[in-house]
Structures are given as structure tokens and as C-alpha cells.
Amino acid sequence: MRRIPFRIPLLVKVGRITERSGWLIEGPEGWGEMSPMPRRRAQEFGAAQAFALEAGTRPFPTPVRDRVEVNALVPRVRPEEAVRIARESGCRTIKVKVGDARGEERLRAVREALGPAVRLRADANGAWDLETAEAMLRRLARYDLEYVEDPVESMADLAALRRRSPVPVAAESCVRSIADARELRRLEAADFVVLKAQRLGGVLPSLAAAEEAGVPAVASSSLETSVGLASGLALAAALPEPLAAGIGTASLLAFDVVEDPLVPVDGALSPRRPRVAESFIESAARAAGDARAVTRAAGDARAAGDARAAPRSGERR
């Protein structure tokens, strides 16, 4: 199997993330992507590898729809920038990052600019404690939200919050395995579950997690290239509920690794595997060759230095 490294800057900072890096892995079915998030690289390495190998060695599940609506992602930017991103996306569902000092202002700006016809989601990335989350959800209820994702960090707190929340809540970061999805159901902790196929080890484990969770499931990305997004798209197309998926994130990358990136058209994508660009493969091969040349040169220099430092015959150090 070919394995090609990549590193791509983001055009807009998403949380603490400013770039995405990882490897593309080629198998008999095509290319897969392995790109665990930087802060969780050690914990998610095995799942990310399984995600890439599944895509490279197995066909995607049969889709139940040939068109997947996607949500636009609005990072923690100024409210006026949030409105611009939402408008230009062409999406009918918008997910706005909150949990910071200007979160509500950002959400209000998007709602006022786009009106009631747009579905609005909020994502706090677990920023609030239970008491703060309850107060914030009561404030945010006025914006007619489809749900708030990860208002708190733990599943136990989410379960407690759900029983008092005026807004539906969604679990994402606390669901990292099929067992977690089963626990989510037992605790009745959420109204929705947001599934990232790379974090769960592939499309098939994600479908199993969706079934175990027992609530409507939304497929979402880990800010992958279009190679990884193809797996997320396959998941979204195979889920029973036609909810807008969080996989319209290719436009956040400074560049992509494929010839035909998975960029939404009229707020939707059709399931497919994009082709990895030959120009990217060639540039990666050149970079690898240059790195090998640098390594060889460094080795030669060390060897030459060792030879110069070695004592001559009969010479004592």
C-alpha cells in the first residue's frame, strides 16, 4: 500500500486548529485518509488507521440516498464574518460555533441575516459547566435552534442537562466508540448523536454506533481532505435519517489533495470517491525524495566527521 504524507493550512482557524496533517493510504478499493486531530493523536491513532484502511480495502455501504444535504460551519469569527460565511455557503442548515464571549452575538447575527427559513445549530465544544450551560441554553432558545452540540463535556452532565434544557442537545465528543453510543442510549443523554467516522474507526463502526445510540444521527467531519470526507459522505448517505451532515468543510482547506474536491453545490453533495490528483502524488514523491537526500547527506556528513575524528594507526587519543 502506498502511504503519502500531507500537511494543509486552514483558511480560517477552527478552535485551536490551524492546519490538518496526516497520511493518504492507497488500497485495492481506492484511497483512505489517516489524520487524527493534533490534541488527540495518541488516543485516536488506532481508530484513524482503521478508518483509512477501511476506505482503502472495502467498498462503501450501499447508500439509501443519492443526495446529502450538508450544513455550513461557522467558526469563532466576528459576527459580520459569520454572516458572510453563512450566506456564501448556499446551505440551508448552518452550524455556528459558540462557547466564547461573542458566541450569542454570532448566532444572533446569522439568524437575523438569514431569517427563519434556515435551520440553525450551535456547537459549544463542551465549553460550559452544567450550571452555565443551563443558563446559556435558556438564552439561546430564542434563536429557534435545531440543537446545541456538546454544551457540556461529559455524558453524565449532558444527561442531566437534557432533562432541564429548553433546546434539544446533541452528543459528539463523548461518543468515541460503539460502547459509548450504547451508554448514551442507556442514560437517555441526548436528542441527537453526531458521529465522526474517523474517530469511530470507519463507516461501518459508525453505522453500528448510530444504531446503538437510538436517536437520530448526524454524520460530521474531522476537517479531513476530500479523501476522508468521502467516507463521511458515505456514512451520511447510509444513515436512515436525512439530516444535514457536517461534511461541507473542504472549503476551509487552503488546498485539497484531489482533482475534484467535495465542495457542496446548492448546499448538498452526492456520494462519490474523488480522484487523488497526480500532481499531488508527484509533489509528495519529490518531497519524500528531497527528505531522503537530506537524510543521506546528513549521514554522509556524520560518517565523514567520524572518519576525520578517528585516530590514525598507532595514534593514541
**β 3-14/17-27 pair status:** antiparallel
Q: Quick one: residue 241, left, alpha or beta (phi over 0 = left, psi -120 to 50 = alpha)?
A: beta
Burial of 191 (0-12, 13-18, 19+ CB in 10 A): middle
Distance CA 136, CA 104 (A): 9
From the candidates 119, 196, 199, 273, give the one annotated as an active-site residue: 196
CA distances from 98 to 133, 193, 280 (A): 11, 18, 35
SS3 content of the chain, % helix, strand, coil (to 5): 45, 20, 35
End-to-end CA distance of the chain, in Å?
50
From the candidates 95, 97, 119, 162, give the one annotated as an active-site residue: 97
97 has catalytic annotation: yes
What three-state secondary structure class fits 232?
helix
196 has catalytic annotation: yes
**Residue positions annotated with a catalytic role:** 97, 196
